[in-house]
Amino acid sequence: MIAKFFKKLLEKLFKKFLNKILNKKNIVIIFRNGSAIGDHVYMSSVLREISEKKIKIILFSNYYKLFENNKRIHKLFKFSSKSYIWSFLNIFKGSNILEFRSQNDKKGNKHFLFYHKNQHIHLSQAMSEHFNLNLSYSYVENEFYFSKDELINFQNKFKLPDEFALIQSSTKKTYTSNKDWSETGMQAIINHFSNLHWIQIGKNDEPKLLNCDHLLNLDLRELAYIIYRSKFIVSYEGLFNHLASCFEKKIFIIHTGFLPIDAFKYKNTIIIENNKDYPCYPCFDIDCKDHKQLTKKNIKLEKVIEEMENRI
């Protein structure tokens, strides 16, 4: 009761005032707090569009490491996900204090893009379409900036081969398990293209693939560097796809029909799919009981290998 009263009092006293001051100074505060790292990565595409309108950006992100050295940002604030700052920012949301989050987030058992299903839009647009900034989404490409010292340090730390490919064994399942294809299929890709130097990326608790090196549980900036240095990536829709866009790095996405292709496609993305045989495509259901069986039936290893052979 007291908390609600305090929140309403702060909102009444300061919300309009703060947004009005920021508007006069041509400043926007953008904030995002959440565990989905990819959301923070593709926010960079929207930040570029805002910056090109000569608007100063003050950014709050709990994954602030992704935005270090970013020339688009006037001021970067570094807070953990448990900080009280997020509550205050939510109280003061308005014309110039904006949360990078879909207005349809957390509605039932559907991905928020379900509520945009007739629009055929990218995730970045769904997250920011409530920004009253007249943004263009015709050129969606993410950004990541290294410092010169950082590149030298990473080069010394990681003794990487001149040419290598990256692969993921399975997806993060804390949100949905409907993006996975086949661990044995990923292993078969490595075995088929045995002439390539393979490195598995991801988390240490994910299934380990054979006949490859492993760089797991990397710091975000280290992970970005490994992707930057790679020849190409084989992965699922998610963080690695969004990071690959930062460097226009070729990435083969094995797509199991969870989201529409328009939602995550970049010009460097090569999508391997058989969506026409998914009766639920695009699925959108966080828990879809038939999805795994449909994926086993619809996406054949031979098709994946053929597509890769034609595009590597």
Look up the domain containing 57 and give its range: 2-128
Asked if residue 224 belongs to a domain, the reply is yes
Asked if residue 137 belongs to a domain, the reply is no
Per-residue pLDDT of 125-180, as tens digits, reads 999 999 999 999 999 999 999 999 999 999 999 999 999 999 999 987 666 667 78
Q: Is 135 helix (H, G, I), strand (E, B) or coil?
A: coil
Asked if residue 135 belongs to a domain, the reply is no
What per-residue confidence (pLDDT) applies to 209? 98
Asked if residue 123 belongs to a domain, the reply is yes
Per-residue pLDDT of 195-214, as tens digits, reads 999 999 999 999 999 999 99
Looking at the fold, whether 181 and 284 belong to one and the same domain comes out as yes
- Most confidently modeled of 3-7, 56-60, 253-257? 56-60
Asked if residue 143 belongs to a domain, the reply is no
Looking at the fold, whether 154 and 114 belong to one and the same domain comes out as no
Looking at the fold, whether 102 and 235 belong to one and the same domain comes out as no
Handedness of CA 86, 65, 217, 239 (dihedral sign): positive
Number of domains in the chain: 2
Q: Average pLDDT of the chain?
A: 91
CATH of the domain at 56: 3.40.50
Residue 2, pLDDT above cutoff 60: no
Distance CA 201, CA 194 (A): 17
Mean pLDDT of 232-248: 97
Asked if residue 138 belongs to a domain, the reply is no
**What's this model's pTM, rounded to 2 decimal places?**
0.93
Q: Does residue 296 contact residue 182 with C-beta atoms inside 8 Å?
A: yes
Distance CA 94, CA 123 (A): 22
Per-residue pLDDT of 41-68, as tens digits, reads 999 999 999 999 999 999 999 999 999 9
Domain boundary residue, one of 128, 162, 191:
128
| CA proximity to 210, closest of 226, 218, 199, 195 | 199
Contacts of 278 (CB under 8 A, 6+ apart): 257, 294, 298
Distance CA 169, CA 243 (A): 17
Per-residue pLDDT of 280-310, as tens digits, reads 777 777 676 766 677 767 889 999 999 999 9
Looking at the fold, whether 78 and 217 belong to one and the same domain comes out as no
Domain boundary residue, one of 128, 160, 179:
128
Looking at the fold, whether 54 and 92 belong to one and the same domain comes out as yes
What per-residue confidence (pLDDT) applies to 114? 75
Asked if residue 119 belongs to a domain, the reply is yes
pLDDT confidence bin for 245, thresholds 50/70/90: very high
Mean pLDDT of 92-105: 93
Looking at the fold, whether 15 and 106 belong to one and the same domain comes out as yes
Looking at the fold, whether 296 and 223 belong to one and the same domain comes out as yes
Report residue 11: phi and psi, to 5°.
-60, -45
Looking at the fold, whether 161 and 240 belong to one and the same domain comes out as yes
Looking at the fold, whether 176 and 290 belong to one and the same domain comes out as yes
Looking at the fold, whether 13 and 97 belong to one and the same domain comes out as yes
Compute the chain's Rg from CA coordinates: 21
Residue 112, pLDDT above cutoff 80: no
Looking at the fold, whether 37 and 99 belong to one and the same domain comes out as yes
What per-residue confidence (pLDDT) applies to 205? 93
Share of the chain above pLDDT 70, in %: 91
Looking at the fold, whether 203 and 110 belong to one and the same domain comes out as no
Which helix (H) or strand (E) segment holds residue 251: the answer is strand 251-254
Residue 1, pLDDT above cutoff 60: no
Asked if residue 93 belongs to a domain, the reply is yes
Q: Does residue 181 contact residue 236 with C-beta atoms inside 8 Å?
A: yes
Domain boundary residue, one of 100, 128, 156:
128
CATH of the domain at 287: 3.40.50.2000
